[in-house]
Chain A
Amino acid sequence: MLENHAKLMHFFASSDEIIGRKKLQKIIYILKKCDVPFEDRYQFHFYGPYSEELTLRIEELCNLGFINETREEKKNYYQYRYRLTDAGKDFLNHYQVELPDIGEPVAKMKEKSSRFLELVSTMLYFEHLPREEVEEKVFTVKSKQNYSEEEIEDAWGFIEEIRHTTH
C-alpha cells in the first residue's frame, strides 16, 4: 500500500526541508535519472521535466497530514516549503522503503538554484543524445533562459558528481 508515497516520505525524511515546488520537481527527476527508483512519470514541459503524478502525490501526502506545506508570499509569486510531519515519520516506521542513501545528493541539490536544477534536469532529459546535441537542444528549448557555456560546463560536472554520490 502507498509504496510510491512512502518513497517520497523517505526522501523528505532525508532532506529535512525542501523549499520550492520547482526545485522539488527537478530534484526528484535528477534522482530518478541517477537510478533512484522513484516511479513518478515525467514529461517535458515549458520549464523542463515535470511530473503531474508527483504534484498530485505531494498534494495527497499534505492532505493526509504526512507532509506539511507552508506558503509564503514573495514579491511576485508564492513559495512553498515542505517538511515531513510526525505522523509521516510514524507511517514510515511501518515501512521497509527500498531506497539507497540519498541524503548527500539531496543536500548538494538543495544548495543549487532552481534555475540551475532546471538546466541539469533538461540536460539529463536529452542525455541519450551525443554531448554536443544535448547542448544544442538546451540552447534551442531553453533559449529564453540564456544559459552560458560556463553554466552548462558546471552542469556536466554536477551531473557527474551527483551520479557518483548516488552509487
Chain B
Amino acid sequence: MAYKDEKLNEEKVFKDPVHRYVHIRDRVIWDLVGAPEFQRLRRIKQLGTSYLTFHGAEHSRFNHSLGVYEIVRRIIHNFEDRPNWDPNERLLCLCAALLHDLGHGPFSHSFEKVFKLDHEDFTQEILLGDTKINAILSKVENGFPKKVADVINKTYHNKLVVSLISSQIDADRMDYLQRDAYFTGVSYGHFDMERILRVMRPMEDQVVIKESGMHAVEDYIMSRYQMYWQVYFHPVTRSAEVILSKILHRAKELHETGYEFSLKPTHFLSFFKEKPTLKEYLELDEAVAMYYFQIWINEEDPILSDLCERFVNRRLFKYIEFNPNLQMSEWMELYRLFNKAGLNPDYYLVVDSSSDLPYDFYRPGEEEERLPIHLLMPNQELKELSRQSEIVESISGKKRTDHKLYFPLDRLEEMSNRSKTKKRILEILYG
C-alpha cells in the first residue's frame, strides 16, 4: 500500500479539553506528530505572555495545531460527497492544518517585531528544507511538501482548500478562540462550532455558510470581538510584551556596543546579527529564552537586569490611556523629564498601539481587500455577512483602536517626594 494511503492498525486518540478527542488514523499524520519540529511546538506557548495575566494560559502551539487538524478532519468528513469537494485533497488539507504554525518561535510576536523576522518564512523553510517533516511529506509523493507549503502560504491553486485553513471563518480561528477561552478561563469565546460545521458548504473557491446558519456565525463573530478586547488586547499582557520587547532590544544593543555579558548570549547571536539559520532558529524555544532572562537578572547592565527581573517576577509597567494627537507636547515633556530622572525613555516610556498586535476583527472586505464571509441564500446567491446581519454590521462599525503609554510607576514612586521632576511627571500622567 502506498504510504499516503497507509492507516494505523488502531485509531489513535488524543484527549483534548476543547474537542474532547483528536482522532488520528493516517500513518502520515501520526509520523508528522512525532517529528522533532512538531514536538518543539510543545515548548512554544500559544498566547505568549498572556499567562502573566491569565494564569491558566499556559497551553502550547502543539495543542492548538492538533485542534486545527481535528476541526479540518471533521469539516472534510462533512464535505464528503458534496459538489465542489475533491476527496483527493483530503490528506493535503490535514497536513496543512496540522503544520500551519510550525514556524512560530518563542514569544513569536515580540521576537518577530524586534528581529524583523516572519514565522511564516520559517514554516516554509521547515516544510521545504532538510528536516524530518520534509522527509515524511516527501514520502507521500513528489512535490507534496511544496503543495503543503503553498496551502499554508495561501498560494495553492485550489482556494477552497486554502480557505479551510485560512479565511475569516477557518479552522485556525475556530480552534484558537475556543482553546484560548478555555485556558484563560474567560466566559467569552464560546460558540456553537458543531452547528457552524454543519452549515458550511464547499463552493468552487471558498467555504460559504448556509443562510440558516447565520446566527451561529454571528455568535462566532461576537466571540471573536469579545476575545479581542478581553484577552488578546488585555493591557496587562501588553505591558509584559512591552517589557519583553525592550529586553530583546537592550540585549541586542549591548551586544552591538561590545558589552561583555556574564552569560554569553550564544542562542541569540544569530538573531542579533541577521536572519538565523533554520537550525539556530529551532534551537531557541521559550524554555531557552526564559533561562537567559533568569540569568540576565544578575547582569551588570542595570537596564537589562531590571527589565529581566520585571519580566520573570511579573513586576510590570503601569499604563494610562494616551492620545498621540492631543498629548504630543506632553509626551515630549515626559521624554525630557524621564531623562532628567535617570530613566532612559527609550526603555521606560513606551507607547503601545492596537496595530502592534497580531489579532484582527471581522472585516466585510468592502473593496476587495480581503475575502469576507459569504452566506449562501436559498436562491443560491451569495451575500456578504454584514449586509444580512445587523449584529455583525454594528460591530463592524465600532471604533476599535487605542494607544497606551507604559512606564515603571514603582521607579517614579521611589524618587524623593521633594523632587520637582517626580511631581511634574506624576502630574502629567495622572493629572
Binding site for B on A (CB under 8 A): 1-2, 4-5, 20-22, 25, 39, 41, 43-47, 50, 52-53, 55-57, 59-60, 63-66, 77-80, 87, 91, 94, 114, 125-126, 137, 140-141, 143-144
Contact = CB atoms under 8 A, between A and B. Distances in A.
Given A1-B351, A91-B328, A43 B157 contact: no
Nearest to B116: A39
Interface in B205-228: 205-206
Interface stretch (B278-286, B296-304, B353-361): B353-361
A47 B157 CA distance: 13
Closest 9 CB pairs of A and B: A46-B371, A56-B355, A60-B401, A57-B355, A21-B367, A44-B154, A64-B325, A140-B157, A1-B351
A93 to B, nearest CB: 10
B367 A63 contact: no
Q: Interface majority SS on A: helix, strand, loop or mixed?
A: helix
B272 interface: no
Contact of B324 (A45, A52, A77, A91): A91
B118 interface: yes
Contact of B155 (A41, A66, A137): A137
Interface of B: 116, 118, 120, 153-155, 157, 159, 205-206, 323-325, 328, 331-332, 351, 353-355, 360, 363, 366-371, 399-401, 403
Contacts of B153: 44
Nearest to A140: B157
Contact of A60 (B154, B205, B403): B403
Contact of A77 (B159, B328, B366, B371): B366
17 contacts: A1-B331, A2-B324, A5-B324, A5-B353, A22-B369, A43-B154, A46-B206, A50-B369, A55-B369, A56-B354, A56-B401, A63-B399, A64-B403, A78-B367, A87-B325, A114-B367, A140-B157
Contacts of A144: 205
B413 to A, nearest CB: 24
B317 to A, nearest CB: 15
B279 to A, nearest CB: 22
A60 B323 CA distance: 10
Given A45-B371, A59-B400, A91-B324, A141 B155 contact: yes
B363 A64 contact: no
A107 to B, nearest CB: 21
B198 to A, nearest CB: 25
B370 A80 contact: no
A53 B357 CA distance: 8
Which residue of A25, A63, A114, A144 has the most chain B CB atoms within 10 A of its CB atom? Answer: A63
B369 A47 contact: yes
A47 B368 contact: yes
B327 to A, nearest CB: 11
A137 B366 CA distance: 26
A137 B400 CA distance: 36
A33 to B, nearest CB: 15
Given A41-B118, A59-B400, A2 B353 contact: yes
B355 A60 contact: yes
A65 B153 CA distance: 35
A53 B324 contact: no
Contacts of A125: 155
Contact of B360 (A21, A25, A56, A80): A56
A50 B324 contact: no
Given A2-B353, A41-B118, A59-B400, 8 more contacts: A4-B355, A20-B367, A45-B154, A46-B371, A63-B399, A64-B323, A91-B324, A114-B368
A37 B280 CA distance: 26
Nearest to A57: B355
A64 B401 CA distance: 9
B370 A59 contact: no
A47 B285 CA distance: 35
Nearest to B120: A43
A87 B206 CA distance: 42
B60 to A, nearest CB: 23
Given A44-B154, A137-B155, A79 B355 contact: no
Contacts of A21: 366-367, 369
Contacts of A55: 363, 369
A44 B370 contact: no
Contacts of B157: 140-141, 143
A4 B159 CA distance: 32
Given A44-B154, A144-B205, A53 B355 contact: yes
A80 B367 contact: yes
A67 to B, nearest CB: 11
Contacts of A63: 399, 401
